[in-house]
Amino acid sequence: MLSLYFVKSNNTFYILIFGWFILQKQYVRTPYLPGWGQVPLQQFSRQSSLKNKFILCGNGNSKVLALTFDDGPSKYTNDILSVLRKHNVKASFFMTGKSLYRDQVIAKNVYRQGHLIGNHTFSHPWASQKNNFNLMYLQIRKTQNIMEDVLGFKPQYFRPAFGDITDLQLKIINRYGCEVIGWSIDTQDWFYDDNPKKIANNALSNLHNEAIILLHDGGGSRISTTKAIDILIRKAKAQGYRFVTIDALVSNKKKKLIRMKNARF
């Protein structure tokens, strides 16, 4: 017989499936910044529980983290790559089609160094303000085609700009063959762009197993972000964390869910 228990540890909620493994509740740990028009945190949590879900983190069984960078490539991307290379860390870059088309050499450099590349729309619009045809064809598919032309493949992972997306759009994108990726930790480097210690601490104070961490390599000055990840990686490794790309995190998540689905209780 299946037994479920709800437990809390280090500000993280888990569902314990007796005799098998733990699934952590998906939600954004970073406090909301009022007055900046962010997507409500409750919406992230609700959409993470849908059939066509918004993935905010992994299951929580492994002590790994996924660094993700949005809005690039840009002139700051190579500096970020240097820090990642220094620490032997692979990350995931959600690129806009517009930026990738402009900075193709940098995008190829990201790919050659073994990092994952995902789709972040063409021009970074609020998806909920676009009709579904506009979003799919002028934002997502347009970017998929640019990435195929420049990099030789179409990404399997999509992140909506601002984390803004409707339930129907989630369903359409999943049917298109893309996993929709959010985050469980927002470093808020888009706000604290002159304070690398604050950016790093926003992540370090909210770390949890299989977290997806939001950062940016485009859309503004990312000098502080570059300094922050040096601090973040060093201190997270000291706590025993490893770093993986989104595909490894999502693959691990699927294997565990399949195991649960096929289990005999």
| Catalytically active residues, by annotation | 70, 216
Q: How far is CA 26 from CA 13, 49, 116, 126, in A?
A: 8, 8, 22, 22
Rounded to an integer, what distance in angstroms lies between the CA atom of residue 206 and that of residue 28?
9
Q: How far is CA 221 from CA 98, 193, 224, 228, 233, in A?
A: 18, 7, 8, 13, 20
Number of H helices, E strands in the chain: 10, 12
The helix (H) or strand (E) run that includes residue 93 is strand 92-95
Rounded to an integer, what distance in angstroms lies between the CA atom of residue 99 and that of residue 42?
31
Give CA angle at 41 (61, 128), nearest 5°. 115
Q: Minimal CA–CA distance to 102: which of 138, 150, 68? A: 150
